[in-house]
Amino acid sequence: MTTLIEAPPSDADGLLPSKKKSSGGGLGTYLLIRFLLIIPTIFILVTMVFFLMRVIGDPITAAQGGRLPPEALAQRIRDAGYDRPIIVQYLEYLGQVATGNFGTTITDRRPVVEMLATFGAATLELAINALIVALLVGIPLGLIAAYKRDKAPDAVLRFFAILCYATPVFFAGLLMKLTFSVWLGWFPVAGRASTRTELAMGGLASPTGIYWLDALRSGNMAAFGDIASHSVLPAVTLGLLTAGVFLRLVRTNVIGTLGKDYVEAGRSRGVSNFRLVTKHAYKPALIPIITVMGLQIALLLGGAVLTESTFEWKGLGYQMVQYLNARDFVAVQGIVVLLAVIVAITNFIVDVAAALIDPRVRY
């Protein structure tokens, strides 16, 4: 059994092999190298997605094959340049992506960038709402679990955390819908807002696209209430998925810091247990929590795709499924690349935050 002890640390070493090269450098060097590491990540994902999508054939045949006469199809393929060698197309695509041009969707002929901005705002709104729920639920419960360690509340909360993970978001969403909209009638069944509010939000000058922010800015409180009631179920559904992770993180880290000497010193001076947990142990435990929280963005985005489909929340995930079913791969490619960029940048920001907070973090 003892041989198993070393496994986690050795794994932790191996996780960041490419970053170890810069050990000994200052903060500036570290940040620069960390920033440069974003580029290969995005590059690999863009390349992978591009070639995977092309294995199927050219996007126009995929989307419109069978619906257009062969001559018209061939004409459109030639116009779009899909008859050239794949490597030429790839290089051209890379150039376009670098300048922020993702092309035009095939089914509804919209610039991909515009489509991303519209639906990205909805996904961002959902993600923010979910994050708020996750923090409100996860952190206090994690503190309680750490405080009541190995007692009944801890066991219940740990089980709750595993249950949050084990429940697929779409099933959680289905249960929420059944309970709170169909049986109790407290919240609307689906959508981001009622049609009237959607229209009011669409008519605003320079909208941010995040509905509750727009409603607050225009002082439209009726719309705000409507948006809020539509937001509750999706936010809770997606939030609970992440809340379980946060709960466990806070618990593990606070338990770790509770064993430190300065906490013991505080206890011996008569500091109350409650204060020890909330002040002395919680704050130092925050650093690893922030790091891992940032890494949850990938989980959150994956969950958002499913949540959006469950609640007909018209964001990137919902739209991606629509485009996938319409076989519009230009649009899908745009969405996937955008999400990859978001994940890579978030990971960078998290590493920077960790490096700024804790001077020991240098790889």
Partner 1 sequence: MTATTESGRKQPFIYRLPVISHFRTSVGLQRGMLVTGLVLTVVFLLTAAFAPVIAPYGFAQLSDASGTFPAQQPPSAAHIWGTTVGGYDVYSRVLWGAQTAFVVIVVAVVMSIFLGVALGLLSGYFGGWLDRVLVVIADAIYAFPSLLLAIVMSIVINRGQSSFWGGIVACSVSISVVFVPQYFRVIRAETIRLKAEPYVESAKVVGASSIRIMGRHIFKNATRTLPLIFTLNASEAILTLAGLGFLGFGIEPTSAAEWGFDLNKAIADASSGIWWTGVYPGTAIVLTVLGLTLVGESMNDLNDPRLRGRRKSVGKTPAGGPDSTAGAQAALEAESRVL
Site for partner 1 in 313-352 (CB under 8 A): 320-321, 324-325, 329, 332, 336, 339-340, 343-344, 347
| Token reading at 137 | 């639920």
Distance of CA 108 to the CA centre of its chain: 27
Among all chains, which residue has been given the structure tokens 């006469």? 69
| Shortest separation between residue 248's beta carbon and partner 1, angstroms | 6
Smallest distance, partner 1 to C-beta of residue 2, A: 5
Binding map of partner 1 across residues 30-69, x = CB under 8 A, - = no contact: ----------xx--xx--xx--xx-xx-------------
149 binding partner 1? (CB under 8 A): yes
For residues 309 and 320, give the distance between their C-alpha atoms in angstroms, rounded to a whole number: 10
In this chain, which stretch among 14-22, 69-77, 117-125, 206-214 interacts with partner 1, using CB under 8 A? 14-22
Options 77-85, 214-222, 255-263, 273-281: segment touching partner 1 (CB under 8 A): 255-263
Contact partners, residue 58, CB within 8 Å, separation at least 6? 77, 82, 83
Q: How far is the CB of 102 from partner 1 (least distance, A)?
A: 16
Per CB under 8 A, 232 contacts partner 1 = no
266 binds partner 1 (CB under 8 A): no
Instruction: Tell me if 357 contacts partner 1 by CB under 8 A.
Output: no
CA dihedral of residues 203, 205, 208, 211 (deg, nearest 10): -30
The alpha-helical segments, DSSP class H, found in 148-296 are 152-166, 169-176, 195-202, 211-217, 221-258, 261-268, 273-275, 282-295
Among the listed ranges 9-17, 98-106, 209-217, 230-238, the one in contact with partner 1 (CB under 8 A) is 9-17
Cβ neighbourhood burial of 68 (10 Å; 0-12, 13-18, 19+): middle
- Is there binding between residue 8 and partner 1 (CB under 8 A)? yes
- Dihedral (CA of 188, 192, 197, 198) sign: negative
The distance between the two most distant Cα atoms of the chain, rounded to a whole number of Å, is 86
Tell me if residue 355 falls in helix, strand or coil: helix
For partner 1, the binding residue among 20, 196, 217, 260 (CB under 8 A) is 260
Compose the 199-228 pattern: x for residues touching partner 1 by CB under 8 A, - for all others.
Answer: ------------------------------
Q: Which of residues 160-179 bind partner 1 (CB under 8 A)?
A: 162-163, 165-168, 170-171, 173-175, 177-178
Minimum Å gap between C-beta 36 and partner 1 is: 12
* Footprint of partner 1 on 82-141 (CB under 8 A): none
For 111, phi then psi, to 5°, come to: -60, 135
Task: Give the three-state DSSP class for 315.
Answer: coil
